[in-house]
Amino acid sequence: MILFFTLPPQRVPWRWVLINANRPDKGFAYLYEHHRHVERIIIDSGIEIFRDPKLRDYPGGFHACLKRQVMLYERVKRLLPGADVMVTACDYCDDYNPGSLWLSKDFTNIERTVESVVTAVDWYPDVPWLIPVQGWYRRPDSLLISLEYYEELGILKRWRRLAVANLCVEVRGAIITRGVKYVHHWLVSHGYRDMWLHVFGLKIAALNRLRGILTSFDSVAWTRPLTAKLYKRGNWSAKSDGERELYFCVYIDRLRRKGVEIPVETLRWCRENTEYERYS
């Protein structure tokens, strides 16, 4: 089964939680309320700050970003000592504003990400890092460059959890599918069959083509309506707590039909508190 990480509406129980490093208080408020249900957590690096075309680095650079990630990890473990936590090493994307984070043709967003990852695992070896596999905009084959770097540096032998990280805003299903399959096939052919393979921001439409490859993925796209019936309600995105809960329940029901594992307590909550089945 594939696991889905997200930050649900506050009242809805969920086992696999995504904490945004730029807005951690929302994530921690959820953890405080649902600590009995939460099993696994991903702390992401807050890479969406690079939507701003003027921004070229994390505030304080990747060293400051990594330190912040470690502090968030320690805070999570104090709250949920038994949870399985994955911490995303700070990476540099190319999909929001292609080329804007390249320092040169020889030191692109890929090399910047690798530099950050090497620093993360060397400086903080006891942190359970989720290693981002970055690439170039609409160049799924470029993901293999990251893997080659990681193998040469011994990263893949030390760290067994990877995340394909350059497809968050991609709309072309073929590019998404090729990118993830390239990574999977490379890992298998190089003897890394047991890797945890995560995909950031995966679209629902790509799930069927990636069955048997993915371990997990994340998204917060459930805030947008998925059916014509919901669009007719007049909102292009959730505008109230009730709509957020309804949209989330409709979203996870679609995931359930595609083979994604959905906690029984969440489905029960949705049936008792929303009318999601009218719109699924």
Instruction: List Cα–Cα distances, 251 to 27, 59, 174, 203, in angstroms.
Output: 20, 34, 22, 11
The predicted pLDDT at position 171 comes to 67
Q: How many domains does the chain have?
A: 1
Low-confidence ranges of the chain (pLDDT < 70): 168, 170-171, 231-235
User: Does any domain span residue 253?
Assistant: no
User: Does any domain span residue 34?
Assistant: no
Q: pLDDT digits over 117-166, tens only? A: 999 999 999 999 999 999 999 999 999 999 999 999 999 999 999 999 87
Structural domain that includes position 76: 39-219
User: Does any domain span residue 140?
Assistant: yes
SS3 43: strand
Give pTM, 2 decimals. 0.95
User: Does any domain span residue 26?
Assistant: no
User: Does any domain span residue 127?
Assistant: yes
Q: What is the CATH number of the domain that holds 133?
A: 3.20.20
The predicted pLDDT at position 150 comes to 98
Whose tokens are 């408020």? That residue is: 29
User: Does any domain span residue 246?
Assistant: no
User: Does any domain span residue 126?
Assistant: yes
User: Does any domain span residue 2?
Assistant: no
Report d(CA 263, CA 260) in Å as an integer.
10
Task: Give the percent of the chain with pLDDT over 70.
Answer: 97
